[in-house]
Amino acid sequence: MDDALQRFISDLDESIALKLDYSEKSLETIESLILKQYTSVERILIPEESYRLDGLARYIGEIFAKQSVDDGKSSWMILAMPSTVCLN
């Protein structure tokens, strides 16, 4: 996971990458990036964007994971329906 995240972050514009510190505040940077680059859900789901979408999902997931470990009270899980999961 770490290597994939590092590749994703290193491919971003440096001004954005420098703001990604896995804090809750960095979610605002991710949100801004998504809203500026993708005008619709369909746009982010095209095959050419799968690498970027994967990186965004990994980054957001890491923030949730770190937050649940940090507070010692939270927990989270992902439930995937086999018919809706697409693995490349």
Total domains present in the chain? 1
Residue with the bigger pLDDT between 22 and 74: it is: 22
Closest CA to 34 of 16, 47, 22: 16
| CA 52/CA 55 separation, integer angstroms | 5
Contact 62, 26 (CB under 8 A): no
| pTM of the entire predicted model | 0.75
Residue 65's pLDDT is what? Answer: 82
Residue with the bigger pLDDT between 45 and 66: it is: 45
The predicted-structure confidence for 4-58, as pLDDT tens digits, reads as follows 899 999 999 999 999 999 999 999 999 999 999 999 999 999 999 999 999 999 9
Range of the domain at 14: 2-84
E strands in 2-66: none
Asked whether the predicted pLDDT for residue 71 surpasses 70, the reply is no
